[in-house]
Every structure is written in C-alpha cells, then in structure tokens.
Amino acid sequence: MSTLFVAALSFIGFLVAYHTYGRWLSRKLFGLRGDAAVPSHAQRDDVDFVPTRLPIIFGHHFTSIAGTGPIVGPAIAVFWGWLPALLWVVFGSILIGGVHDLAALVISLRNRGQTIGETAGRLISPRAKILFLTILALALFLVLAVFGLVIALIFDLYPESVLSVWVAMPVAIAIGLWGRQRTAGLLVPSLIGLLMLYAAVYLGAYYYPIDLADYLPRDAGIFSSPVVVWTLILLVYAFAASVLPVWLLLQPRDYINSQQLFVALALLVAGLILASVSGRADLTATTPAIATDVPSDAPPIFPFLFITVACGAVSGFHCLVSSGTSSKQVNREPDAQPVGYGAMLLEGALAVLVILACTSGVGMGPVVAVQSEAGRDYQVATAPDGTAVTGHAAWQTYYPMTAESKGWASHGLKNQLAAFIDGGANFLSTLGIPLRFAVAMMAVLVACFAATTLDTATRLQRYVLQELGATLRIRPLENKFAATTTAVGVAAAVALLAGEEPGKGGLLLWPLFGATNQLLAGLALMVAVFYLARRRKPTWPVFVPMVVMMAMPAWAIIYQMLFNWYPVARWELIGFGVALLLLQIWMAIEGLIFWKSAQGQLEPAAHPHPLDQELAESLEPASSL
C-alpha cells in the first residue's frame, strides 16, 4: 500500500499547487489577460505562428518537454533511494520548474514570440543576448545528438517499437491535412489515429518487429551499426519535420502522442493501484527510502541529484519550448497557466510514476527477453538461484551501472531506459495485458516522446541560429533551411565523429549535458527576474529558484573537473566546462551591472502590451526581493 500512498499524496499535491500557487502566479504576478494580443494572431503566418486551441497546444507543449528526460533522470536517481528523488520532483516542479516554464512562456508571449535568449538583449543587455543565444545553441547541439541516440537505442533494444513509431508520422500528416481542409477539431481523427497506433504496436510486437541489423551489410564500416543508421535517418526526419508547417505534422502528431500518454498514465496508475492493493508492489518493503549501498564511485547526492533529475523537476530545455514553439501557438494569454505551469506539474506526475516503476515496479520482477520457437518473448525473471529478486537488489542485479571516468550518468543508458519500460510493463501486466504487448506499449511511448523532443529541438535550434545570424550579421544563418541544415549537420558530426564508438558521440559530452541544461534554467530565471523588476513586481518567486539553479550546475561542473576529469586528462570536457562557467560568470556580471538601472524602467517594447501601457503611466510601488 505504500506505493499507492506515495503516488496519491504526490498527485494531490500537484492538483492543490496548480489551483493555488499556479493561479497566483498567473493572475497576480504575471497578470494574464484575455484581451491582450498574442503572437499567434498578431504575426500569423500558418507555418510557425498559428493560433491553436488549448488541448492541441497543451499536447504539443507537454510531449515536447517530456521526451525521455523525466524517464532517464529519475531512473538514475533512484540509486540514492526513492525519497530524495521524489521530494526533488514534487517540490522542484511546483516551486521551480513550473515557475520557470510559465515565466519563459509569458515573457515570449509579450515579446512577439521571441526566444528567451532574444528577449535577454532588451531586458538585460545586448551582450547578454549574445551570451545566452550562444549557450542555447551549444545546449541544443547536445540535445539533438543525444536524443537521436536515445531513439536509436530504443529501436535497437526493442525492434517491436519501430513499426508503430514510423506509422504515427503519415497518420499525423493525414490528420493535419484533414483538419486543415475541413477547419474541424482534431479530437475524433486523432482518436482514430491513436487506435491505428496501437494496432501498429500489436503488429510490431507479434508479427513485424524491425531489427535493422538483419538488413545491414556487415562490411560497411560504421554503417554496419544499426545505431548509426537509425541516428542518421532520425536526423533527416528531424530536418523535414522542423521546416514543415506546425499544423501539418507537429500539432497532430503531438496531439496523438499526448493522448497516448494519457492512456498509458491511466493504465500505469490502474496497474499501480492493483499491484499495491494485492501486495505485489510495496515500495518501502522492497526499496530503501535513502540508499546506503550506492556505487562507491558515484558522485555525491549534492549537487548531483539536482542535475541528474532535470525534466520532471526543472529543465532549462523547457524555456526553449515555452519561448520557441509554444508561444507562437498559444491562442490567448490565460492559456499560459495550463500550458506553462500545468504541463510541468503533469511531467512531475510522470516522473513520480517513473520513480515507482523503477523501484517497486522492477521489484515485482524484472522483465527479460528470451528466445523461443515463436520468436522474441518476455517473462518475469528470477535470480540465478531461482529466487525472486526485488527492489533495489533487482535494479543492481538486472540493470547494473558503475560510475566510470566518462561520467556515471552516461554509462548504462540502455539499462536506464529498460528499467522504466520493463518496470512499467510489470504494472500493466497486473491488468491482464500480455507482457509482450505491455513492453511494446512502453517502448513505443518512450520512443514517440523522444522523437517529439528531437524534431522540436531541431526547430528550436533553427530559431536560435537564425537569431544569432541576425544579431551577428551572418546572412546565411538567417535562412531557415541553412539554419536547419547547420543544426542537424553539427548534431550528426557529433554523433558520428566524436567519441570512441561511431553513433555514440553525443555521450562524449553527456556528463556536461545535465549541468548545461540546468544552467539554462538559471539564466532563464535571471531574465524573468529582470522582467519583473522592470515592472516593480515581486521578484522572490523567481529570484530564489534562480540562485538555486545557477549554483547547482556550477558546483557540479567544478566537482567533475576536479575529481573526475582532471585525474584522467579529459581535456575536452574540462575545456567545455570552463567555457560554460565563464559564460555563466559573464552573464551574471552583465546582470549585476544593469540591475540598479533596470528597476522600475520598462525595456524597449517589442510591441505594446496593455499592462505595460498602464505601467508606463504609473508604476506600482516597489517590492523588495
């Protein structure tokens, strides 16, 4: 019953927070108004700027920020025990992540849909804009390389997931065209598309698993690797998806994916309830709240818990989605609360389920693939001596991971993905869903979300490179096709040419990815502090999270350089880390220089806003930090 109690208490906390703190942030702090002009209407082009109904934009935003982040991070963090990870997810998403996402979305809505990096130029200083855009570009190159690898690994591990993931693409395009021609809602056609998706899951699980290794020549060098080929195919797809109009592929596909997630969440919760009531899943009996047997070479819980669990608590990547694609589609300002704050809390709920799946779910008995005359099958595994292995012991027995000098979070990526997929499948199996089909459902869920993040990140990188091109007067980068080619080209080069193994170059800089991602969150919150200070609004809701999210990444990078990278001469990681720290320090200095002069002084407006017009005449009384 402890598993059910933890889940219920967490979900209730999210609901209460949304209707209290989230409402205060939206109505009082940011003053969302239904009569304010938004970029989707003011700059409508039906390619990037498209007014979108709330359910559809919510689906796009949520599936874009979710990806595999709230899966991989918590799956690693349970090595410290389930309680630290759970507390960080719940309180982090309510007090930091939701605030961060909402602030980035609102600021972009009131600045012509510009990215948070672009708006930093007017809110702080022109140099801050260049610094922030540079950090954004570096982070997104890592995102593209890593998420392409994640999907490729899932395809390689779970061939049964391949068919349904690719079937979802033409189905989404057909739905987009249907909705566009008929100017109708997407609910009914998307439900039909969802049924088609699950039909493809069934066919992939039982009849048509696609293992690329069966089709590739063995003497083709790096192109003999399924991971390499899948990565290249996925980056080509990301290029096409990122330049197409959002209504054609991005919106309908994300809407279907969001419905898939809601179905999966409902099934996971139902399975969790049944497993808890029946006694098969007992969190406290099988898993330590605070682990005492973590790997000896793993990093300390402080600050690395706050770096390891990003999506699900707070993630800098979210500010790119909020200010990059979502702000260009939000139909009216009040929709920012469910899209910005609500989607973050739902991602926190997903992270809670991941924590429970990777502990009490795996504790029900790890799922392993076995070969039989009928083909690939699944069963619940036992220890070599025939006894059941549960909880933390199960994690260590079946998903072993040790900390190497390359960075412990990058080692065993397959194991981390498999822990959630297999643990979640265990929950679904308690509902009578065949284990083979349950594993396929979970694998498709993870792969579809990762694909959503991949092509959304490509579109975001295009925006960032175009803004950098315009700022630095690099004319070719202002062209969307040239910027997109640069985005996927650099990502492909990192994936294929860097690292020790072709296709896995993204993992070379993976140890820095978590810190870079969280640094973005801190810098986005810094921009939000200036936005509020210029309007003499209370800044403490964003100032305190800003301090946390600028201190933790810096602490983590310094620790890694001193204790992990310097002893083994990982100069490329040290160089990247030093560059990040210098950029962060420079950005902080820019903020300090312009802090005093910014208070109570509205920045040059990207376009008039009702609140700013009123404030220009009479600013509210000053509020302290």
Predicted confidence at residue 372, as pLDDT, reads 46
**Band of residue 410 on the pLDDT scale cut at 50, 70, 90:** very low
More confident of the two residues 47 and 383 = 47
Q: φ, ψ for residue 428 (rounded to 5)?
A: -65, -35
Residues shown for the chain:
625
Predicted confidence at residue 101, as pLDDT, reads 98
Percent of the chain with pLDDT over 90: 33
290-294: average pLDDT: 75
104-113: average pLDDT: 95
User: Residue 492: pLDDT above 50?
Assistant: yes
**Band of residue 571 on the pLDDT scale cut at 50, 70, 90:** confident
- Give the chain's largest Cα–Cα span: 79
More confident of the two residues 532 and 213 = 532
Q: Comparing C-alpha atoms, which of 194, 186, 339, 311 is closest to residue 251?
A: 186
Whole-prediction pTM: 0.84
Find tokens 């012509």 and name the residue: 112
Predicted confidence at residue 402, as pLDDT, reads 41
Question: Can you tell me the distance from the alpha carbon of 194 to that of 263, in angstroms, rounded to the nearest whole number?
Answer: 10
522-535: average pLDDT: 95
User: Residue 82: pLDDT above 90?
Assistant: no
Q: Comparing C-alpha atoms, which of 51, 65, 399 is closest to residue 254?
A: 65
Residue burial 589-604, b: 16+ Cβ < 10 Å; e: rest = ebbeebeeebbeebbe
Find tokens 């200083």 and name the residue: 125
Question: Can you tell me the distance from the alpha carbon of 142 to that of 511, in angstroms, rounded to the nearest whole number?
Answer: 11
**Band of residue 555 on the pLDDT scale cut at 50, 70, 90:** very high
Question: Can you tell me the distance from the alpha carbon of 448 to that of 49, in angstroms, rounded to the nearest whole number?
Answer: 24
515-544: average pLDDT: 94
- Classify residue 224 by burial, with Cβ atoms within 10 Å: 0-12, 13-18, 19+: middle
- DSSP helix/strand/coil, 579: helix
Predicted confidence at residue 617, as pLDDT, reads 58
Distances (CA, A) of 368 to 422, 479, 480, 597: 8, 48, 45, 62
Q: Could you count the other beta carbons within 10 Å of the beta carbon of residue 217?
A: 8
User: Residue 509: pLDDT above 80?
Assistant: no
Helix (H) or strand (E) holding 433: none
Domain boundaries in the chain? 2-617
The angle subtended at Cα 166 by Cα 428 and Cα 256, nearest 5°, is 60
Taking each helix axis as running N to C, give the angle between helix 435-472 and helix 54-66, from 0 to 180 degrees, rounded to the nearest 10: 90
